[in-house]
Structure 1
Amino acid sequence: MASIEELANTLRRVATSGMKPKALLAAVREKYPEATKKEVIRAAFYALAESQSGDHSELHSFALAERCGDEDDPVRAAKLRRKKKDRQTEPEVQAPH
């Protein structure tokens, strides 16, 4: 398993202007095929946080765009349930003044 530093260094080397997130992920997986998408995303954030100089907008957009989901854990919309009303009690009726 590759360390986060190794993945971050690879990301810095392969990232080019206008590179799509899928292409960036594929480029990293060519060198580290066992790396998960989650690890690569974390390495992208790590590369951004640890970088001293340079424009890493590709890494930034990749990390932000891909952080929501993981290939192992698909994001599913949850259904909201309505609260059940207490049907045993009747609403109070106020007498007119």
Structure 2
Amino acid sequence: MSELQDIARTVSALAVPGMKPKDLVDAVRKQHPDATKKQISRAAFMAMILAAEGDPSRAQHVQALALAARSDDTGEGSAEAAPRRKKKKKVRHAAA
């Protein structure tokens, strides 16, 4: 069994409604100390896919945690994207 599958099983076992992503990451790291946030996030998506067949409500909860963990990992801090800035137009001067 791969390490990602082991982490996915741990995520699935530890995820509960109302749990914050940071708390889940910390709990998973107690059992998998070398796991990165990225690995835990991927494992959460794997757990969601595997759980979708048996328990759709559990899959939705794990998906929400995985999305939140992924957005925290990218530095965005929330699921909402920041507005993009407009590019400045380049002014070309005519050659004299």
Aligned to 1:83: 89
Determine which of 40, 61, 65 is the counterpart of 1:58. 61
1:1-97 to 2 correspondences below 5 Å: 3-51=3-51, 52-54=53-55, 55-56=57-58, 57-70=60-73, 74=75, 81-88=87-94
User: In structure 1, what is the Cα distance between the partners aligned to 2:19 and 2:75?
Assistant: 24
Distance apart, 1:66 and its partner CA: 2.1
Looking at structure 2, the residues matched to 62 and 13 of structure 1 have their Cα atoms a distance apart, in angstroms, of 13
- In the alignment, the residues of structure 2 paired with residue 11 and residue 59 of structure 1 have an alpha-carbon distance, to the nearest angstrom, of 8
TM normalised by structure 1 equals: 0.72
Q: Which runs of 5+ in 1 are unaligned?
A: 90-97
Which one has a bigger Cα radius of gyration? 1
Q: Which has the higher contact order (CA 8 A, sep 6+)?
A: 1
In 1, Cα distance between the equivalents of 2:22 and 2:69?
A: 9
Unaligned runs of 5+ in 2: 77-81
Number of positions where the alignment pairs a residue of Structure 1 with one of Structure 2 = 85
Q: Give the aligned partner of residue 92 of structure 1.
A: none
